[in-house]
């Protein structure tokens, strides 16, 4: 018997899944897999892996919006391929996508392209904002995690690279890299 599985995702732990949960319940989902994790990468999305693993022939994976499933064209294409290989379909409720139909598959492809575009535009805006902040002297970047002066000081005092790495809680390769830099 074919089943409908829901997948709900938000990007941060302080966001609420309630609206997605209610929409997936209205869509007749048998079970809902939920997680609070970024969608820019597929790594670490355990609930997505679980729901893809339970899909079988005739089943349907339901999401409210395509960006809940993924943000990159590659990830969306790979997920769609996995769903198809399981003999299942994908339904996106708010965007009227149903990959069990030829028109739905075509529309999915267009939406996946726009999801990638949105991610790229967001990344460009972020980089522009960082550049503007740097020009104003507001953005300094990440604080250095290595105390280069301390590494050199310890090395000059005759401490071995292994001991420096252990004492400063850093990788030995980092010690060698710092020692190889011009002073």
Active site positions, annotated: 11
Instruction: Put the strands of the sheet holding 97-98 in their side by side order.
Output: 31-36, 4-10, 60-63, 89-92, 97-98
Q: Are 111 and 66 in contact (CB under 8 A)?
A: yes
Residue 150: partners with Cβ closer than 8 Å, 6 or more residues away: 168
Q: Are 73 and 113 in contact (CB under 8 A)?
A: yes
Q: CB neighbours (10 Å) of residue 159?
A: 15
φ/ψ of 10, rounded to 5, equals: -125, 160
Structure tokens at 74: 């590659």
Nearest in space to 34 (alpha carbons), one of 13, 17, 55, 11: 17
φ/ψ of 9, rounded to 5, equals: -145, 140
Q: Are 153 and 164 in contact (CB under 8 A)?
A: no
Q: Are 178 and 155 in contact (CB under 8 A)?
A: no
């Amino acid at each position: 018997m074919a089943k409908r599985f829901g997948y709900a995702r938000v990007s941060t732990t302080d966001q609420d899944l309630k609206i997605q949960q209610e929409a997936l319940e209205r869509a007749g989902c048998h079970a809902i897999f939920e997680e609070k994790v970024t969608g820019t990468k597929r790594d670490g999305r355990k609930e997505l892996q679980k729901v893809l693993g339970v899909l079988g022939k005739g089943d349907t994976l339901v999401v409210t919006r395509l960006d809940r499933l993924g943000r990159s064209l590659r990830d969306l294409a790979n997920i769609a391929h996995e769903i198809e290989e399981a003999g299942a379909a994908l339904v996106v409720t708010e965007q009227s996508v149903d990959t069990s139909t030829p028109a739905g598959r075509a529309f999915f492809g267009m939406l996946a392209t726009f999801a990638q575009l949105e991610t790229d535009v967001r990344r460009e805006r972020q980089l522009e904002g960082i550049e503007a902040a740097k020009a104003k002297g507001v953005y300094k970047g990440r604080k250095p995690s290595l105390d280069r002066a301390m590494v050199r000081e310890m090395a000059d005092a005759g401490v071995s690279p292994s001991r420096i790495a252990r004492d400063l809680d850093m990788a030995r390769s980092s010690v060698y890299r710092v020692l190889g830099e011009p002073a």
